[in-house]
Structure 1
Amino acid sequence: MTDFTDLVDMASRKIGGRVVSTNDEFFVEKENLIKPEAPVSCKGISGNRGGVYDGWETRRRRQPGHDWVIVRLGAPGVIDGVVVDTAFFRGNYPDRISIDAYGFEDGVSDEEVNDPAVDWVRIVPETSCQGDTENQFGVTDDRRYTHVRLNIHPDGGVARLRVYGHVIPDPRHLDRISSDLAAVENGAVVVDASDKFFNPADNVIMPGTARTTKDGWETKRRRDDGHDWLVVQLAAPGHIRQAIVDTSRYIGNAPDRCSLQGCDATRDDVDDPTAWWELLPATAVQPDTIHRIPVRGPDRQVTHVRLNILPDGGLARLRLVGYATDTGRAHLGTRWFDHLPEHQATRVLTDLGLTEGHAGTLVAARPSGDTGAVLSALDEMAPELDDALVTAIRELLLGPRT
C-alpha cells in the first residue's frame, strides 16, 4: 500500500477541519480528534468523570448500537486513506471501526448534515481496531467528499482522526479573482524539499499565520556553499503576479535572501534544470516580516514554483498570488466535476436550472477528462435549453471566458 500519510490531512484543524457533532462525548470532548499535534499521555490525570485522555471518549454502552462523530473536512477532496489513532487508549479503545463519507455543497447547516435521511457512503467497512496504535485504512473510492463520519463499535476512545488525500477545490471560488495558487486549500502541494530537519516543508502553504516557528518550515544550518529550496505544484497552471514571503516568528533564523523559479510541466520535465526560468531574482528578506514582492518574470504559464532560500533558515508562509490560465481553469473544473458524488453533481446542475433528467444525462457522461464527453452531451441537448443556461454550464466546467 502506498504511504498515504505523506498526503494532506484534510481533516486537520490546521486547514480548517471542524468536528460537527457526535452522539456522545461523556468523558473527553470530540474536538480533540482533529488537533494537528500528536496526542500526548495524560497518565495519572483524573477529572470529575474519570481519567483524562488526549482524544475523544464515549461512555460504556449498555444498549445495542454504536457511537459516532462527524467531521467536516477543512479542504474537500478524494480520500486516499484514514488513520484512526488510539494512542494511550489501552483498555478503552473501540473493538471495531467503520467510516462513512458524504459530499455537501458549501454553506450546509449542521441540521442538514445530521439529517437521518442523508445517504452516507461507506468508505471503510467495519474493521477491527487495535489499542494504542495508529490504525491505517486505505480507501479506494475516488469521489470528492466534504464530510466523514467515524463510527466506533460499540464505544470507546480515539485520540486522533487523520483523513489523508488529494484536495480538490471548488473552481467556482477561483473565478474572476486573484487567488493564492500555492494554498493547500486550493489544491497546491509541496512535492519536494532539500531539507525538512526541523519542520515539514508543507507548513509554508497552510492557511493562516504561523503561531510559532514550529508552524513554519525550517532547515538545519548549512556549512557549505549551497542553499535550501522547496518545490510547490500549483493548484492549477497559472500566472503569478505577487509573492508573499512571510518570515514571521523567525527572528534569528530567517533566510538572508530568497528567489523564485518557474516551470511548466505541461511542456517540460520538472527534473530538467534547463526547464526552469527566473520569476524573482535573489532578493533580501528581513526577519519577522511579511514581504509582498511583485513578480515580473516572463508572462508564461507556470505549473511548479521553486522557492530558494539563501543560504538556509526558516519561513512561516509562502503565498503565490495570481490567476489560473484558461487551461488551468478548465483542468480545475473538469477534475472537480468528474469527482463529485452523483447526488452532488446533479444538484449543482439543477441549481443552475437544468431538469433532473438533463442533469442526469450530463452526470452519466462522466468521467469527461478534458470535458469533451460532457460538453458533447450538452451540445446534443442544447436545442432544448435556453442559451444562457448552456453558457452557464460551459462556464461551470471551463470557467468564464475573458
Structure 2
Amino acid sequence: MSFSSIPLEDFEATFGALTEISSVSLGGTIVSKSDDFFSPASDLLKIGPAIAYPGVFGKNGSVMDGWESRRHNPEHDWVIIKLGPPAATIRGFDIDTAHFAGNEAPSASVDALYSPNTVPTNDCLLWTSLLLPQPLGPSSRHLFELTSSSSIPFTHLRLNNIPDGGIARFRAYGTVVAPHPSAGLQPWDRVEKGEVDLAHSFNGGRVVWSTDEHYGGAHYLLLPGRGETMEDGWHTKRSRTPGHSDSAIIQLGSKGTINELNIDTHHFIGNFPAGVAVHAILSEEEVPPLELESGWTQLLVRSKVGPHAEHFFEVDDASKNQIFSHVRMTIFPDGGVKRLRVFGSRSA
C-alpha cells in the first residue's frame, strides 16, 4: 500500500468528505494493547483535541491526555482498534502527538485486518500493512493519505508505537461499507416500520458540504445513537447578520424515497435552532448545485424545533413518490442539532 504525507492545510480537501471511522462517537474502541502504563490507550479515540495538564501528576507520573506507554521497550508497543462501523475502506490517518514533547513516540505504523466475528490478536499473521513506520515529531499532527486506491474492507486497525512513548490522538478516515440491500433492515434502521435510515453513516450516508462547523462537525448528524453530550453534534457559531442561516448537504447511502424526517436536538438546550427546513434532490454529482432553485424539492418548510428532543416530520404525499439522492438541512439562524434521520425505502 503506497502513501504520502499531507500538509495540515490540505486536511479538509483530503479527508473532509470522509468518515472518521475510528472515533468513539461511531463506536470505535480499543480491544487490546501491549502497555499503557502512563496514560490509557482509550484516550486515542476521544472526540475532541487533546488537553494539556501542566504540572499535574498522578501516581504514575505526569497526567497526559493520550496514550503513553512506559520507557525502554526493546521491541515496540501497539494497540488494536475495532472500527465503529461494521466494515470500512481506509483512506488515511491523523496521528497527533499534541503535548507530548520529549516523551512522544518517535515513529508509528498502521496495519489493518478484516475480522468481523473475532477479536484479532497481535501475533495474527493476516495483518496488512497500510502505513510503514513514519517519524513523528513532538506535539504535532501528522497526516498520511493512502494513495493507492483500494476497496478492501477492514474491521480492525493496529497502531504501532515505535518503540514506546506518547500519542495523543489517532484518527482513521475512510468510507463505510454499507450492508448489501439483500441483508434487509439493520438494528440502526426503523425496523418496526420497515424503513431504512437512508442518511445513517452505517448505511453509507455522508456529509458532502456544510456552511459552518465552528463547534461541531456536520458529520455528527449521521452517527448512531443520540450521543452523550453536545460534543458530538453539528453546532455552528452564533450569527449576527439578519437573515442568516446555516446548511449541510448529506449524500444518502442509497437513492430512495423518503417518508419521514427525525430532527434531534438532544443536549442542545439553550442553543438549538430557531427553525429548520429540509430540501431533497436527485443528482449524480457528489455535491449537487447549491442554489435551491436548481432542482431541489422542499420536504419540510421552515418549522420550529425545541430543546433537547426528537422532532418527527412526515413528508407530503407528492414528495413521498419521488426518488432522491441528497438531502439538505437548513437551520435558522444558527445553533446545534444532534442527529438527522431520513426514513424511507431504497430505490430498486
TM, length-normalised to structure 1: 0.74
Partner of 2:88: 77
Q: Shift of the alpha carbon at 1:256?
A: 3.1
Tell me how far apart the structure 1 counterparts of residues 198 and 183 of structure 2 sit (CA, whole Å).
Answer: 10
- Give the SS at the match of 1:204: helix
- Give the SS at the match of 1:145: coil
Contact 1:269 1:275 in 2 (8 A): no
Measured against aligned partners, the alpha-carbon deviations of 1:44-95 in whole angstroms (never above 9, x if no partner) come to 12222222211111122353x2111110111232211111111111112222
Give every structure 1 segment of 4 or more consecutive aligned residues whose post-TM-superposition deviation is greater than 6 Å: none
Structure 2 residue 184 is the aligned partner of structure 1 residue 175: yes
Tell me how far apart the structure 2 counterparts of residues 213 and 50 of structure 1 sit (CA, whole Å).
Answer: 31
Counterpart residue identity of residue 25, structure 2:
K
Q: Shift of the alpha carbon at 1:311?
A: 3.6
Partner of 2:324: 302
Contact 1:238 1:325 in 2 (8 A): yes
Partner of 1:287: 307
Counterpart residue identity of residue 114, structure 2:
G
Contact 1:222 1:312 in 2 (8 A): no
Structure 2 residue 140 is the aligned partner of structure 1 residue 133: yes
Q: 1:21 to 1:230 in 2, by over 3 A?
A: same
Tell me how far apart the structure 1 counterparts of residues 124 and 235 of structure 2 sit (CA, whole Å).
Answer: 47
Q: Which has the larger radius of gyration?
A: 1
RMSD: 2.3
Q: Shift of the alpha carbon at 1:285?
A: 2.2
- Give the SS at the match of 1:202: helix
Q: Shift of the alpha carbon at 1:228?
A: 2.5
Which structure 2 residue ranges, 5 or more long, are not aligned?
1-5, 186-193
Which structure 1 residue ranges, 5 or more long, are not aligned?
327-402
Tell me how far apart the structure 2 counterparts of residues 119 and 154 of structure 1 sit (CA, whole Å).
Answer: 22
Partner of 1:159: 168
Counterpart residue identity of residue 136, structure 2:
C
Q: Shift of the alpha carbon at 1:172?
A: 5.6
Q: 1:15 to 1:267 in 2, by over 3 A?
A: closer
Structure 2 residue 79 is the aligned partner of structure 1 residue 61: no
Partner of 1:385: none
Q: Shift of the alpha carbon at 1:214?
A: 3.7
Tell me how far apart the structure 2 counterparts of residues 26 and 192 of structure 1 sit (CA, whole Å).
Answer: 41
Moved more, 207-216 or 16-25: 207-216
Structure 2 residue 204 is the aligned partner of structure 1 residue 187: yes
Q: 1:267 to 1:100 in 2, by over 3 A?
A: closer
Q: 1:310 to 1:60 in 2, by over 3 A?
A: closer
How many residues in Structure 1 have an aligned counterpart in Structure 2? 321
Aligned counterparts, 1:310-389, within 5 A:
310-326=332-348
Partner of 1:398: none
Contact 2:210 2:218 in 1 (8 A): yes
Tell me how far apart the structure 2 counterparts of residues 47 and 269 of structure 1 sit (CA, whole Å).
Answer: 49
Tell me how far apart the structure 1 counterparts of residues 286 and 69 of structure 2 sit (CA, whole Å).
Answer: 54
Measured against aligned partners, the alpha-carbon deviations of 1:190-209 in whole angstroms (never above 9, x if no partner) come to 11223333332222222222
Structure 2 residue 233 is the aligned partner of structure 1 residue 216: yes
Structure 2 residue 272 is the aligned partner of structure 1 residue 260: no
Partner of 1:144: 153
Q: 1:195 to 1:26 in 2, by over 3 A?
A: closer
Counterpart residue identity of residue 183, structure 1:
H
Q: 1:300 to 1:266 in 2, by over 3 A?
A: farther
Tell me how far apart the structure 2 counterparts of residues 205 and 81 of structure 1 sit (CA, whole Å).
Answer: 21
Tell me how far apart the structure 1 counterparts of residues 209 and 73 of structure 2 sit (CA, whole Å).
Answer: 50
Tell me how far apart the structure 2 counterparts of residues 99 and 267 of structure 1 sit (CA, whole Å).
Answer: 33
Tell me how far apart the structure 1 counterparts of residues 66 and 181 of structure 2 sit (CA, whole Å).
Answer: 36
Partner of 1:363: none
Tell me how far apart the structure 2 counterparts of residues 269 and 77 of structure 1 sit (CA, whole Å).
Answer: 22
Tell me how far apart the structure 1 counterparts of residues 339 and 240 of structure 2 sit (CA, whole Å).
Answer: 21
Partner of 1:196: 213
Fraction of identical pairs, as percent: 32
Counterpart residue identity of residue 37, structure 1:
G
Tell me how far apart the structure 1 counterparts of residues 272 and 134 of structure 2 sit (CA, whole Å).
Answer: 47
Higher helix share: 1
Q: 1:23 to 1:211 in 2, by over 3 A?
A: closer
Tell me how far apart the structure 2 counterparts of residues 264 and 223 of structure 1 sit (CA, whole Å).
Answer: 31
Contact 2:25 2:227 in 1 (8 A): no
Q: Shift of the alpha carbon at 1:268?
A: 11
Tell me how far apart the structure 1 counterparts of residues 39 and 230 of structure 2 sit (CA, whole Å).
Answer: 29
Tell me how far apart the structure 2 counterparts of residues 160 and 313 of structure 1 sit (CA, whole Å).
Answer: 27
Q: Which structure's relative contact order is higher, taking Cα pairs within 8 Å and 6+ residues apart?
A: 2
Tell me how far apart the structure 2 counterparts of residues 8 and 124 of structure 1 sit (CA, whole Å).
Answer: 19
